[in-house]
Structures are given as structure tokens and as C-alpha cells.
Amino acid sequence: MKVSQTSVTGCLLFTPTPVSDERGFFSRTFDVEVARAAGLDPYAFVQDSQSRSLRGVVRGLHVRRGRGEAKLVRCPWGAIFDVVVDLREDSPTFGQWQSFDLTGDNQQSVYIPAGCAHGFQALTEPADTAYRIDREHDPTEAATFAHDDPVLAIPWPLPVTVMSQADRTAPTLAEAGITLPDDAARR
């Protein structure tokens, strides 16, 4: 398994090496020693969750207030356009975002550090998204920001088909009082 630093500080891309034959493939999707070598505490993850989304669905941009939460996200079936937005004011990449094409074929995982917002769009019918999370869920700490915030200008690849009410009515970063630096590079 290869680990790569991304353009967002602390956000890591894990790329496994699937073994394929006439039966299909086998892929290691998590390895304690690889996580530890990448600087992560592999035992910090306390919850695994999964969502299934229809093509065009957008979930996010979600972040957790307080201490935040770190996530390890992958798409075991289908394909998603996955987005990480750095909202950590003390980070050198504050205000930057990066997208990833996570698929059941590439089996890549993205480590999203606490303080970064996360969202994705399902590109297939259906797309499953698996999350490994380092804190128990607390709905009182949940925050959602507009997926179509004009300052971020994220180029979602498909027309949005369905969103939750909370995601549809989410404020922009500016409406939430978050001012991004003028020179923050968007990606």
C-alpha cells in the first residue's frame, strides 16, 4: 500500500495494490502498520459507517465543530467525486480544497484530518461510501456548508439529483462567518 501526501496539509491518499485474477480481485483496504508509518494512530478509529447514494446525490460539505473528527473514507462499490476542504485557520492550506475520484476499482482511501470539511457526489448508481471515524457521533457538533459556495467554486461533475434538507439549506462559509484568504489556491 502506497501513502501519498495531498495538496491539503495532513490529508493522505492510501493506494492499495489489488491482486487480480479470473475470480476478481483481493485488496487490503486498511493496514495498522501502514497507518502508523504514515503518522496516524490506527487504534484511534472508533466507528465504521457506510452510506449508499444514488447517482448525482451530493452529501456535504460536512465538518464537526469542537475537537473535530478525522475520517478515513473510501468507495468500496461504484464511484464518487470526493472533496476535502481545509477549514483549519492555523493550517498552511487553510481555504484550499482537493478532490479525489474514489472508486470500487481503485480502492483508494482518503484520510481527512479533523477540521477539514468533507463532501462527495455519487457518480454511479449506486455508490457506497465507507467511513472510518475517530470519534463517536455527536449531532450537536455537526456543521454543514453549502456544496455550491461560490468562493470555493467546486466543479461538481454531475447535476445534483438529491440532497438532504440540511445540505440544501446550508450556509456558505461567508454566511457562517468563515473568511478565506484571498490568495487561497483552489484545486
State pLDDT tens for residues 122-136: 999 999 999 999 999
b/e map 36-68, b = 16+ CB within 10 Å? eebebebeebeeeeeeebebbbbbbbbbbeeeb
What's the confidence (pLDDT) of residue 51?
97
pLDDT band at 154 (very low <50, low <70, confident <90, very high): very high
Is residue 109 within 8 Å of residue 40, measured between CB atoms?
Answer: no
State pLDDT tens for residues 103-120: 999 999 999 999 999 999
| Active-site amino acid positions | 62, 131
The topology (CATH level 3) of 2-168 is Jelly Rolls (2.60.120)
What's the confidence (pLDDT) of residue 183?
58
Q: Domain-by-domain residue ranges, the chain?
A: 2-168
40 CB-near residues (< 8 Å, 6+ apart): 12, 70, 111
What's the confidence (pLDDT) of residue 59?
98
pTM value is 0.93
Phi, psi of 79 (to 5 degrees): -150, 140
